[in-house]
Structure 1
Amino acid sequence: MTAFYLKLFITPALMLFISLAAKRWGTQIGGLLSGLPLTSALVMLFLSLEQGETFASMAVPGALAGLAAIQATYLFYFLMTRSVSAFTGCITALVFYGSIALVMSRSGWLALSIIATLLLVTVIIIVTSKQAQTKAAHYVPLPRWVIPMRMVTATLLLLAITASAEWLGPLASGLLAPIPVIAWPLAVFAHVQGGHQELGAIVRGNAIGAVGVVGFYLTVKVSILQWGALLSIATAVLLAVAITFMVARLLDAR
């Protein structure tokens, strides 16, 4: 029951923080923050607490496969919505995600998932270079209901993922773990409210964050059984933050 209340508190609090950060520093910063393994860390923590640390460790291969599928989906959505509406793009992208995630999970190869993720991140950074050059995504004023709606959406998604873990098993649970319960609502709402430029900034920031997420999952995989869930996940998050901001700094320097 304590875990349930933590989910109800932490997820909307993170969504609020990222939304306010995007408002203060621009949509690309919001995308960068949403790309950090914030929700991934929460999912892995709750899987460890509710299903055990071995279960969480076994979920990592699925999580990395899911991460590759998510980056492919962001790229698909970004390219597709150049010619279709956000609603059509969103529905089609979710179907696309399910197909790619299924294919990636069947492979079971950590190396393949990591290589695919990094290649997709590279492509996303290239196709969103216009957003980085123009610095167009400063933040579009939003109706008051948008941030609460993001908070509710993110919380419901996290509850759904963790509640289904017991009967899904570690591989499928891992596959669902990196689903961007914060970044996806943020991306869709930013697209609807601010257009394709705002979407590009979110997608770019999230892709940069995905490099750190790879480091997060690998750290959890090698350390959670030896160090325990709290120390392992905390260390993995710190490493992911360092990697993400190092990559962001290198790209800005260019």
Structure 2
Amino acid sequence: MTLFYLKLLVTPLLMWAISLASRRWGGLLGGLLSGLPITSALVMTFLCLEQGSAFALGAVPGALGGLAAVQATYTFYLFATRKLGIAAAVSLAILFYGLAAYAFTHWGGLYLSIGVALLLIGVLIRASGREPRPDTLARPKHRYWEIPLRMVSATALLMLTTSLASWLGPATSGMLAPIPVIAWPLVVFAHVQGGRAGMAAMVRGNAIGAVGVIAFYLAMAALLERLGVALTISLAMGLAVALTLALASILRRFRAG
């Protein structure tokens, strides 16, 4: 019961904080924050506590397959919205995610998933860099129901994923762990409010953060059995944050030059 209330508390608070940061400092920072393995860390933590470390380790290959599918979905959405409206592109992107995630987790393999994810991260960073930059002086209108809706959707998906874990099994649970439950609503809302420039900045931030997500899962696989849940999660998150900040800094200098 304690874990149940913890899920209800932590997830919406994270979504609320990231949404406010995105409003205050722009889509790129919002993308970076939402691209970090926040939802993944929550899912993996609860899988460890509720299903055991062996179950969580079995979920890692599926999680990396799911991450590759996430990057494929962002790529699909970025290019599809050049021809399609937002509603149609979102519907097709959700369907595309399901197909890609199933393919990667059942037929891809660990190394293929990592390789495809890194390739698509490069494509997203390059393609989003060619989009117009957001107008920092423009202030998009924010509706009062946006952040509550994001908080509810993020919490509901986390509850569903962890509650059904024993029935879904480690592979499928892992596949669902990196679903961008925080990032995806941010991307769509940024597109609606800020146009392609706002959406591209959010996607770019998420792609940069995905490098940290890969590091997070690899650290989980290497350290969990030796160091335990709390220390492994802490070290894996620290590694993910460090890599994300370093890559963001390098790309910012490269883009400015």
Q: Give the C-alpha shift of residue 109 in structure 1.
A: 2.1
1:57-136 aligned at under 5 Å gives the runs 57-107=57-107, 109-131=109-131, 134-136=133-135
1:137 and 1:214 map into 2 onto residues whose CA distance is: 31
Alpha-carbon offset, residue 135 of structure 1: 4.4
Counterpart amino acid of residue 107 in structure 1:
W
Partner of 2:145: 145
RMSD: 1.3
Residue 134 of structure 2 contacts residue 198 of structure 2 at CA under 8 Å; is this kept in 1?
no
Kindly state the Cα deviation for residue 103 of structure 1 after the two structures are TM-superposed.
Answer: 1.2
| 8 Å CA contact retained: 1:62, 1:108 | no
DSSP-derived class of the 1:105 partner: helix
Residue 224 (structure 1) aligns with: 224
2:205 paired with 1:211: no
SS in structure 1 at match of 2:161: helix
Q: Does 1:199 align with 2:199?
A: yes
Runs (5+) with no aligned partner, structure 2: none
- What is the letter of the counterpart of residue 59 of structure 1? A
Please tell me whether the aligned partners of residues 61 and 108 of structure 1 are also in contact (alpha carbons under 8 angstroms): no
Q: 2 CA distance for matches of 1:57 and 1:154?
A: 23
Structure 2 contact 134–194 (Cα < 8 Å) conserved: no
Write the distance in 1 (CA, Å) between the matches of 2:83 and 2:225. Answer: 47
CA distance, structure 1, for counterparts of residue 240 and residue 155 of structure 2: 23
Residue 143 of structure 2 aligns to a residue whose secondary structure is coil
Q: What are the Cα deviations for residues 65-100 of structure 1, in whole angstroms up to 9, with x where unaligned?
A: 000000000110111112212211111111111111
| Cα distance in 1 between the residues matched to 2:28 and 2:136 | 6
> Could you tell me how far apart the structure 2 residues matched to 1:163 and 1:143 are?
31
Equivalenced residues, count: 253
Where structure 1 has 5 or more consecutive residues not aligned to the other structure, the ranges are none
| Structure 1 counterpart of 2:252 | 252
**Residues 133, 197 of structure 2: 8 Å contact kept:** no
The one-letter code of the counterpart of 1:134 is: R
Q: Deviations over 1:231-250 (max 9, x none)?
A: 11111000000000100000
- Greater Cα offset, 73-82 or 209-218: 73-82
Q: How many Å apart are 1:115 and its aligned residue?
A: 0.7
- The answer to whether the 8 Å contact 2:34/2:182 transfers is yes
Structure 1 match to 2:29: 29
Query: In structure 2, what is the Cα distance between the partners aligned to 1:167 and 1:51?
Result: 11
**1:134–1:187 CA distance, 2 compared to 1 (3 A):** closer
Residues 146-202 of structure 1 show CA distances to partners (whole Å, capped at 9, x for unaligned) of 111111111111111111111000011000000011101111122222222111111
In structure 2, C-alpha distance between the alignment counterparts of 1:7 and 1:130, rounded to whole Å? 39
Q: Does the 8 Å CA contact 1:137/1:201 hold for their aligned counterparts?
A: no
TM-score (norm 2): 0.95
| TM-score normalised to structure 1 length | 0.96
The one-letter code of the counterpart of 1:92 is L
Tell me which amino acid in the other structure corresponds to 1:223.
L
1:94-145 superposed Cα distances (whole Å, 9 cap, x missing partner): 11111111111123522111111100000001110034x7344676231121
Identity %: 54
Assess if the C-alpha contact under 8 Å between 1:27 and 1:137 holds in 2: no
